[in-house]
Amino acid sequence: MTILKPKLIILCDEKFTILQNKAVAFDDRIIKIGEASELKKEFKDAEFIEEKETILAPAFINPHVHLEFSANKTSLVYGDFLEWLSSVINSRSTLSQQANEEVIKSAIKTMQKSGVGTIGTVSSFGTDLKACVKSSARVIYFNEILGSNEEFLDVNWQSFKKRFDESVKFKSEFFTPAISVHSPYSTHPNLAKAAINLAKEQNLLVSTHLMESNHERDWLESGVGGFKEWLGKFSKFPKPFYSVDSFIKMFAGARTLFTHCVYMSDFGKFDNYIHSVTHCAFSNRLLSKKTLNLQNLLDQNIYFNIGTDGLSSNISLNFLDELRANLLIHSEFDLKNLAKILLLASTSWCAKSLNLDLGEIKEGKLADMALYDGFGNTEQDELALMFLLHAKECKKLYIQGKSLNLD
Ligand code: MCF
Ligand code: FE
């Protein structure tokens, strides 16, 4: 057991409580929070660590990244979603070859150094499996299914199932196989339904992209616009497979993270117990011409969380960079309040969405925590904001109570 005494502890409870000069006793779970002197008396064999000038917080959760695109820097085109998509089609096989085990390992390390304990990665090819399994991160591995051409549905399903079954072999307390239905414009209902049924049967987490671009909105709402032309390359008379509502309906009963949702305002069809929105601010700026209305989600009681997306649509996998982008983009919010909301969204709210027993510094929760240096003299009311403005990386990252070596 360890007793850790930082200067400040951000619990990430709903009241956004900050404790000063208190300590946390933990092994794989958090056992007790209190005065260091009392914890030392109670747990005589525990190792005592005092970390002056530091903040302790729950480790971040990045629920949406595409690790297989980690080799991208300048190969893809930004500014318009369909131009980006065409560039992905042209470059994806080269990019995925370049994203070898070393590249993916380093992408994971970047996230961990920024305090991320849990990573949700969308895997298109299965080439990131080895690096994910070998890593010291907690991983939710979303096996992607897509395909719109009726002739190839069987081939697409077999390819998905092979990757999925392979990932299941590595299931552990740190590695959770899951499912990603790519999007309504790319995934035939037969494939989507089969994958969602599998998720329901096996109680798997699901991730999907929804309402990311103006083109997707025009396509799903009216069957017109850029997607009509774009999909016309693959079939003679393309028609949308779904409306927004019929797409969401398929996910009834499946715990799902809907990524982007930038062009949606009514979340009435969501089941707010198990459906949440993943917000990727940097990615939306590069591909979507619009950002998510966070206040609208708060008003409709829909949990949201914060993802980086992949380096296919971001310049950094440092989670603190993504949080700073959010701080700058959502200028309609009070700055200090926004900082608190972003920290909650990245920890306890995301843990609830993924049904993980962590994300809060609370007795009984799994001890996934990160420690950051250099905040000893910060006023408590300023802490969330100052932390997001200045933190570059963590000093220590604990996963289930074990301190990881991040060198
Ligand atoms: O989230 C971003 C933008 N929206 C959709 N897809 C992706 C993103 N980053 C990578 N992708 C991948 C996706 O997983 O690009 C491909 C899929 O494999 C596009 S569809 C051929
Ligand atoms: Fe994505």
Q: Structural domains in the chain?
A: 2-59+359-403 (2.30.40.10), 60-354 (3.20.20.140)
Ligand closest to 85 (CA) is 1
Each residue of 40-65: pLDDT tens digit? 999 999 999 999 999 999 999 999 99
Ligand 1 near 279 CB (within 6 A): no
Q: Which atom of ligand 1 is nearest to the CA of 84?
A: 3
* DSSP E strand stretches across 11-102: 18-20, 23-26, 30-34, 47-58, 60-65
Q: In what order do the strands lie in the sheet with 275-279?
A: 60-65, 116-123, 138-145, 175-181, 206-210, 256-260, 275-279, 304-306
Active site residue: 68, 144, 212, 216, which one? 212
With a cut of 90, say whether residue 376 has pLDDT above it: no
Cα separation of 64 and 280, whole Å? 8
Which residues are CB-contacts of 184 (< 8 A; sequence separation ≥ 6)?
210, 216, 220, 240, 241, 242, 244, 247
Cα separation of 81 and 354, whole Å? 28
Q: What is the pLDDT of residue 202?
A: 98
Each residue of 60-92: pLDDT tens digit? 999 999 999 999 999 999 999 999 999 999 999
Cα 50 to ligand 1 centroid, rounded to whole Å = 44
Ligand 1 near 2 CB (within 6 A): no
Phi, psi angles (nearest 5°) of residue 266:
-105, 115
Ligand 1 near 230 CB (within 6 A): no
Instruction: Reduce the DSSP state of residue 292 to 3 states and report it.
Output: coil
Model confidence at 233, in pLDDT bands (50, 70, 90)? confident
Using CA atoms, how far residue 46 sits from 26, 27, 383, in Å, is 9, 9, 29
Q: What is the pLDDT of residue 192?
A: 98
Cα 259 to ligand 2 centroid, rounded to whole Å = 7
Each residue of 149-187: pLDDT tens digit? 999 999 999 999 999 999 999 999 999 999 999 999 999
- 212 labelled catalytic: yes
Ligand 1 near 58 CB (within 6 A): no
Cα 216 to ligand 1 centroid, rounded to whole Å = 13
Ligand closest to 313 (CA) is 1
In terms of residues, how long is the chain?
407
Angle (CA) 205 208 210, round 5°: 145
Kindly state the DSSP code that residue 74 receives in the 8-state scheme.
Answer: S
Ligand 1 near 310 CB (within 6 A): yes
Q: Which atom of ligand 1 is nearest to the CA of 212?
A: 4
What's the mean per-residue pLDDT of the chain? 97
Cα separation of 370 and 365, whole Å? 14
Count CA atoms closer than 13 A to 216's CA, side-chain side: 25
Ligand closest to 70 (CA) is 1
Ligand 1 near 122 CB (within 6 A): yes
Total Cβ atoms within 10 A of residue 88: 19
With a cut of 90, say whether residue 236 has pLDDT above it: no
Ligand 1 near 209 CB (within 6 A): yes
Query: What are the beta bridge partners of residue 48?
Result: 3
Each residue of 93-146: pLDDT tens digit? 999 999 999 999 999 999 999 999 999 999 999 999 999 999 999 999 999 999
To test the pocket of ligand 1, the residue of 72, 91, 124, 214 to mutate (highest count of ligand atoms within 8 Å of its CB) is: 124
Cα 247 to ligand 1 centroid, rounded to whole Å = 18
Phi, psi angles (nearest 5°) of residue 7:
-75, -45
Angle (CA) 283 287 292, round 5°: 60
Between the two ends of the chain, the Cα-to-Cα distance in Å is 24
Model confidence at 371, in pLDDT bands (50, 70, 90)? very high
Q: Which atom of ligand 1 is nearest to the CA of 69?
A: 10
Q: Of the candidates 110, 126, 244, which has an alpha carbon nearest to the alpha carbon of residue 177?
A: 126
**Residue 105 contacts residue 135 (beta carbons within 8 Å):** yes
Each residue of 9-41: pLDDT tens digit? 999 999 999 999 999 999 999 999 999 999 999
Cα 353 to ligand 1 centroid, rounded to whole Å = 22
Q: Which atom of ligand 1 is nearest to the CA of 310?
A: 9
Ligand 1 near 147 CB (within 6 A): no
Cα separation of 124 and 406, whole Å? 27
pTM: 0.98
Mean pLDDT of 301-323: 98
Ligand closest to 147 (CA) is 1
